[in-house]
Structure 1
Amino acid sequence: MDLDPDLAGLRLLGGFFVLRMDDGADDGAAPVRRLPTLQEAYDEALARRVETVGSRLGTRETRVAASIAQQGLAARLWSAALGCSVLYGGLPDLDPRLLRWDTAAGCPDDLWLTELRPLPGDPATLAATVLGGHLEPLTDALRTRYGVAAGLLWGNAGSALAAAARELSRWARGSGRTDVADRARALTAELFTHPLLNATGTRTGTAFRRRSCCLYYRVPGGGVCGDCCFDRPPGLSLQGS
């Protein structure tokens, strides 16, 4: 199946899967031309996103805000890429130079694709697109600027992929689309064999238990996530550091 010009099929799956192909002029969103590309974000604008996330979470720990910001963007990238691959059999080129990002937006992250360039929807292309094109440079930037551990960030990436696959499976079951569920399961299983993801957690069906923690428990009023390595929040002796 060919990609439709506005990727309308993704809208059926929920907000984390949607890629905008418009300029946002009709809904009050920031005009695309004023937004940084993800390439620019990894070089310059990332600090604004971390600051935005930290402010909304009410935390002064930039390491925590950086982790949550990265997980949110990873969830959007995996959802859009996996959703396209499953629904269309292909995905759009998500080159960081083609994607614009509203760093001041809420959750889910607002992404615009400025040009539609079809790519194959196989596991190798998915991995190259999301891991190589986005999450590796993002991980390097967050480690350098905020001291976030690589294992934590790759755990976030694994968690985000598992969540996208789980939501796709849920939608497929509810819609009677066994083909979607089967393809999502096969693609996800193959992606988790990638060296950057295969040690991030344990999968049982669509469930995932990660081997690291995203640090959400350190947010005021936060706790542990459903796939956390902890059963309860650990001690907070470093709170505010």
Structure 2
Amino acid sequence: MDLDAELAALRPLGGFFVLRTRADPAGPAPEGLATLAETYATVAPEAQRDALALRVATVAGRLRAPEPRVSVSISQQGLAARLWSVALGCAALYGRVPALDPRRLRWDPTATAHEDLWLTEVRPLPGDAATLADTVLHGHLEPLGVALRARYGIAPGLLRGNAGSALAGAARELDRWARAGGRTDVAERARVLTDELLAHPLLRGTGTRTATAFRRRSCCLYYRVPGGGVCGDCCFTRPPRSSPRAVSG
């Protein structure tokens, strides 16, 4: 199936999977929004609102995060989940993935999925694991990680763990939707692609996947949020009492 201009096949999945496009009936992205390429700049352009800092501050306010590295981690994991969901969803449903060029993805850092990202051009690419890795890992998560480490000093191992966790989470939701609708072909494509991606050097060792369950080897620090607890795939079984700095890298 070819990609359509509105990526309509993603809509039934909802939430993190939906990506608005220029052809979306809801309208194109406001031109004043930063592109993700601008967002990943180590130093934000003077004429452009600092979308990365705004996102970190927005997440900190919503979660009442007690320290910057917590909101930095959750911000990065949220964007990783959006990108993996769109890319993996398209690859499993269409057999193609849109070219998610950071220069053509506009981002509203104050919005939540699915209102935060707009793709200004839908250009199909192959839906294999190597293309997904180039699109998401190399095209987005690497430059995002460079920016976050330069600005906030966040541990690279934490960011890698977040990337693996976000991929596994997207795969789990896609599998649940596909099996509920009798789309075992979609579930199988998602499984194969996810296994190949988790073997990539940038994701290898971030966790252990059994069927659709994933247990990561690091912590995203969500338990530091008031009332947060530990996530379902956390390396901890209960919130630790000591500082997590030793395990976040």
TM-score class normalised by the smaller sequence = over 0.9
Identical-residue share of aligned pairs (%): 70
> What whole-Å deviation, never above 9, does each CA across 1:81-115 have from its counterpart, x for those lacking one?
00000111101100100101101113556110001
Quote the Cα distance in structure 2 between the aligned partners of 1:185 and 1:67.
26
Q: 2:163 aligns with which of 120, 145, 157?
A: 157
Letter paired with 2:35: T
> What whole-Å deviation, never above 9, does each CA across 1:48-77 have from its counterpart, x for those lacking one?
110111011112411110000000000000
Counterpart contact for 2:6–2:24, Cα < 8 Å: no
| SS of aligned partner of 1:32 | coil
Could you tell which deviates more after superposition, 126-135 or 217-226? 217-226
Quote the Cα distance in structure 1 between the aligned partners of 2:65 and 2:242.
13
Q: List runs of 5+ in structure 1 lacking aligned partners.
A: none
Cα separation, partners in 2 of 1:57 and 1:212, compared to 1, 3 Å: same
Match of 2:179?
A: 173
Match of 1:98?
A: 104
Which 4+ stretches in 1 moved above 6 angstroms?
Answer: none
* Number of equivalences: 237
| SS of aligned partner of 1:34 | coil
Given the alignment of the two structures, is residue 7 of structure 1 paired with residue 7 of structure 2, yes or no? Answer: yes
Cα separation, partners in 2 of 1:34 and 1:23, compared to 1, 3 Å: farther
After TM superposition, the score normalised by the length of structure 2 is 0.90
Residue 23 of structure 1 and its aligned partner are, at CA, apart by 8.2
Counterpart contact for 1:224–1:230, Cα < 8 Å: yes
Letter paired with 1:133: G
Quote the Cα distance in structure 2 between the aligned partners of 1:26 and 1:76.
19
Counterpart contact for 1:154–1:200, Cα < 8 Å: yes
Match of 2:247?
A: none
Residue 32 of structure 1 and its aligned partner are, at CA, apart by 2.3
Given the alignment of the two structures, is residue 81 of structure 1 paired with residue 79 of structure 2, yes or no? Answer: no
Residue 220 of structure 1 and its aligned partner are, at CA, apart by 1.2
Letter paired with 2:89: G
Counterpart contact for 1:23–1:31, Cα < 8 Å: no
Quote the Cα distance in structure 2 between the aligned partners of 1:108 and 1:56.
17
Letter paired with 1:11: R
Quote the Cα distance in structure 1 between the aligned partners of 2:186 and 2:26.
32
Residue 21 of structure 1 and its aligned partner are, at CA, apart by 1.1
Match of 1:16?
A: 16
Given the alignment of the two structures, is residue 230 of structure 1 paired with residue 236 of structure 2, yes or no? Answer: yes
Cα separation, partners in 2 of 1:217 and 1:48, compared to 1, 3 Å: same
| SS of aligned partner of 2:75 | helix
Given the alignment of the two structures, is residue 141 of structure 1 paired with residue 139 of structure 2, yes or no? Answer: no
Match of 1:34?
A: 32
Letter paired with 2:31: R
Counterpart contact for 2:97–2:124, Cα < 8 Å: yes
Match of 1:71?
A: 77
Q: List runs of 5+ in structure 2 lacking aligned partners.
A: 45-50, 245-249
Could you tell which deviates more after superposition, 187-196 or 100-109? 100-109
Residue 13 of structure 1 and its aligned partner are, at CA, apart by 1.1
After TM superposition, the score normalised by the length of structure 1 is 0.93
| SS of aligned partner of 1:81 | helix
Residue 26 of structure 1 and its aligned partner are, at CA, apart by 4.8
Quote the Cα distance in structure 1 between the aligned partners of 2:225 and 2:114.
18
